[in-house]
Structure 1
Amino acid sequence: MSFDQRMRERQGAGALGQPPEIILNETFNPFLNDSQSVNGSVPAYEILKIVILLPVAVVRVLVFVVSLLLGYLFTKLALFRARNVLTRPFPQWRRWLMLPVRLFARVNLFACGFHYIHIKGRPASREEAPILVSNHVTFADPLFLFFRHLPVIVTAYENLNLPIAGAITKAMQAIAVDRLSRESRHHASGAIKRKAMCNDWSHVMIFPEATTTNGKLLVSFKAGAFTPGYPVQPILFRYPHVHMDPSWVAEGPPINWLIFRLMTQFHNFMLVEYLPVIHPTVAERKNPIQFGERVRLTMARAMNTSVTNHTFEDAALAMEAVRLKIDSASAMLEFGEFKKIAPFTVKEAKRCLSEFVTMDCSKRGAVTYKEYIKAINLPDCLLLQQVYRYFDRVNCGHISFRQYAAGIAFISNHSRFKEAVKAAYDFCGGGGADSPDEATFLRSLRALIPSVSKQQVHSLFDKLDLKNGGILRRADFASYCDDHPDFLLLILIGKPSLL
């Protein structure tokens, strides 16, 4: 690379520098149900099967509903006058009252077509392994675990408020956690350790992926199951299928349609394998992430599959992609790897995805330079080409959501971001005692882009002037830069001497 090329590259990076390059796994979407992968349509032979088995499905639905309601009544009986359900272990007689509920859970699985469940391996006693961990594919996983172990589960806080299932979850003396709250996760980690160390509780059961996948690989593990430093027993769930994928994932199908499809199959297969207990080393007790990774790799080898750095946040993005009616695979960031750039939150990622979808006029998961300048409503010029090149690092002529999000995350979380916003505001005329008006903003922007029209500046100024007062306030300018870091990038690339 020549000296002039290096200088242009340095200038094109702007005063904040360029984000580090990351390699993301684009070969597989762990949140896609096979039955939904072809436009969500049902093949003709499956429709015929549904018609034939419809009378059987009606009986199965009745059995499912009746057993669910009976289980709920026995659960309410077990919880009658019970206090501090989530913090004090049940006496043995209350656990006995839950035995019929466990049997009803097996009836529910039978009604869903899981007539025979193949079990491999030996479940460890609580003394051997106080913590159980498992991959999470569908609603049948916790039903089986409830039937077989009646464990203390770690679940999302909102599940406690579900009708019927909420009461059963409380009867399992669950550890509730808000997956998006660091404080809640910290409290949950302490509760896991307290309940795992006391034999008055049942096994502690955790799905360390913190979300459901299609079972074809293992996504990133949360550290909660491994922080106490106790032995764990991994459990593997597999659902061999040809036509009907039972996975309940972010991209669908809805739970009611999933249960209906399972009930209109002749038989559904479930394989459950108990792996040998895994004991942490001295080093792994001090480093639970390392312990969790060893457990994950052990489970992946037993499943003959691979691992990725997708996380619960990617599942949330997949659901947002479904809402925006785009391919969820193009919205995957693989957060476990992506966070090496910057601490990007789900809220920020969703906002970034919404902006990207607005720019992607062709809806093909890639934004060209023409689409980009059309979306930001500014004229073609060398400066805008440099801004676009900031995202298109390999100069391929289009940017993916991952490339766009990488640039936005790096800028918005940069240590000098606030300093850059202040410098950019001063450049736009805010360095004096008064806030700049539209005419001052026009002169500043034309110093960067001489060909910009008054109408384009007026449209941009309207977005910046939130109170329609005819002036550009510092707080409004900072808020716009928070939501549109690429606007700040435009100023910094055009005037690298500001920082």
Structure 2
Amino acid sequence: MRLVVVAAGFHRVRMRGKQHIPSDPREAPVVVMAPHSSFFDAIAIVCLGAPSVVAKADTARLPFIGQLINYTQPVYVWRDDPNSRQNTIKEIIERATSKEDWPQVLIFPEGTCTNRSCLITFKPGGFYPGVPVQPVTIRYPNARDTVTWTWEGPGALKLLWLTLTQVHSSCEIEFLPVYYPSEEEKRDPKLYARNVRDVMAKALGIPVLDYTYDDCRLIARAKQLGIPNAAAAREINEIRGQLGLERSQLELHLAAQGVQTRSRWVSGEEFAQRLGVPMDQRSQRLFDIFVQRSSGLVHFPDYLLSACFLSLQHAPLSQLLSLAFKLYDTNRTGRLNIKTFEEVATRCLGLTPEEAQGTFRAVDLDEKGYITYDEFTSYAQKKSDFSFIFTSDGSHKPKTQ
């Protein structure tokens, strides 16, 4: 493993602080490392003496490296398994409190890669045992950043190539003093996780941000589909929850009714009035996220589409698409012309305008100048490119071509 690190160009891995190697298995059995920003963070596994790692199950399938990680007796997380989270916590607790001579458990509590500009929410799994942990920070003080592997940006192979083209790359690992939890922190793993994160953020000199892996996945999905103001999806959802809109599902009801042409653009007061919420700082912030600066108004269908996406984020996309057809059908005829279909397809299906227009023409073989939701879904069911629309939707089963 050390040869792999050197071959990757990391000739200098600087170690700071003192690594706590417990003589008693129950003394600091968990190592908490952050920020997690790259697959190159595996360097820490080498430098810490190959502790057991908590990693997603896909890691085991990596050529060569996956087999090396298997030798550390890892705890694998199966993200597609609804019971995986509880099983992972149970395994960490068993190892952390066991009298057996288990290796220390290394966790990256952020649960996903970030760009190292902040520390996002720590998952509490590694803090449930209530045992002392050793926080460890990792930095890459290089002139050029060729390691950051996040939701948006270069892929793994490109980053590996860019790193290999450097004369050398540096990595810095710092061991912070062992953190001993208070009785309150032992009872509250989330509090324990927050306090450890604060200590590590202070050592790194960066802020904390209450984003989670699920938030990142939600935003990435929204961007992929073209949902309006996708980057603010988490904040929008949070404000909706504060205003009670998430619970009332009023937005789904409004979307199902459709929005007529004359009422598509609304002012701040009308925006709050339609949603049945007070015009306060929360609703004003929601309005400001969607406001068009040139007119000072909000395109109400765009807001409702975003709200419906958040309300239906665990439902098949076909449900959202059905509502989108009603939202952008200005005449409430159940028909979309090429312009309005382009609005739907670019905001809800992640198509480019050119792709949307081409799809419209493929559906409208009779050249009527409009298509309906049923006509589009009938066409989409036969195309593998659109199979993602009907995932887990029992009412629409994709057909083979």
**Counterpart position of 1:492:** none
**Counterpart position of 1:380:** 261
2:373 equivalent among 445, 463, 470: 463
Report the AA paired with residue 130 of structure 1: P
Q: Secondary structure at the match of 1:217?
A: coil
Listed as ranges, the matches of 1:25-36 within 5 Å are none
- C-alpha contact 1:314 1:333 (8 A) present in aligned 2: yes
Which of 1 and 2 has greater Rg?
Answer: 1
**Counterpart position of 2:106:** 205
1:292 equivalent among 193, 209, 217: 193
**Counterpart position of 2:157:** 256
RMSD: 4.5
**Counterpart position of 1:272:** 173
Report the AA paired with residue 452 of structure 1: N
CA–CA distance in structure 2, aligned partners of residues 338 and 403 of structure 1: 13
**Counterpart position of 1:407:** 307
CA–CA distance in structure 2, aligned partners of residues 381 and 401 of structure 1: 12
1:159 aligns with 2:64: no
Identical positions, percent? 27
Report the AA paired with residue 261 of structure 1: L
Deviation string, structure 1 residues 227-246 (Cα, Å, up to 9, x no partner):
11010001000111232342
Listed as ranges, the matches of 1:77-476 within 5 Å are 105-126=1-22, 127=24, 128-135=27-34, 136-179=36-79, 181-198=81-98, 199-317=100-218, 319-320=220-221, 330=231, 333=234, 379-382=260-263, 385=266, 390=275, 393-394=287-288, 396-398=296-298, 407-408=307-308, 452=331, 454=333, 456=335, 462-463=372-373
- C-alpha contact 2:335 2:372 (8 A) present in aligned 1: no
Q: Secondary structure at the match of 2:192?
A: helix
Q: Secondary structure at the match of 2:210?
A: coil
Seen in structure 2, the aligned counterparts of structure 1 residues 402 and 340 have a Cα distance that, compared at 3 Å, is farther
CA–CA distance in structure 1, aligned partners of residues 237 and 181 of structure 2: 23
Count of aligned pairs between the two proteins = 306
- Please state how far the C-alpha of 1:318 moved relative to its aligned partner: 5.6
Report the AA paired with residue 137 of structure 2: L
Report the AA paired with residue 308 of structure 1: L
CA–CA distance in structure 2, aligned partners of residues 401 and 166 of structure 1: 47
Report the AA paired with residue 380 of structure 1: T
- C-alpha contact 2:186 2:192 (8 A) present in aligned 1: yes
Q: Secondary structure at the match of 1:159?
A: helix
Seen in structure 2, the aligned counterparts of structure 1 residues 464 and 260 have a Cα distance that, compared at 3 Å, is closer
- Please state how far the C-alpha of 1:400 moved relative to its aligned partner: 11
**Counterpart position of 1:422:** none
Q: Secondary structure at the match of 2:234?
A: coil
Deviation string, structure 1 residues 2-42 (Cα, Å, up to 9, x no partner):
xxxxxxxxxxxxxxxxxxxxxxxxxxxxxxxxxxxxxxxxx
- Please state how far the C-alpha of 1:377 moved relative to its aligned partner: 8.5
Q: TM-score, normalised by structure 2?
A: 0.63
Q: Secondary structure at the match of 1:132?
A: strand
Q: Secondary structure at the match of 1:393?
A: helix
- Please state how far the C-alpha of 1:334 moved relative to its aligned partner: 6.1
CA–CA distance in structure 2, aligned partners of residues 188 and 142 of structure 1: 20
- Please state how far the C-alpha of 1:452 moved relative to its aligned partner: 3.2
By relative contact order (CA 8 Å, sep 6+), the higher-ranking structure is: 1
CA–CA distance in structure 1, aligned partners of residues 128 and 122 of structure 2: 12
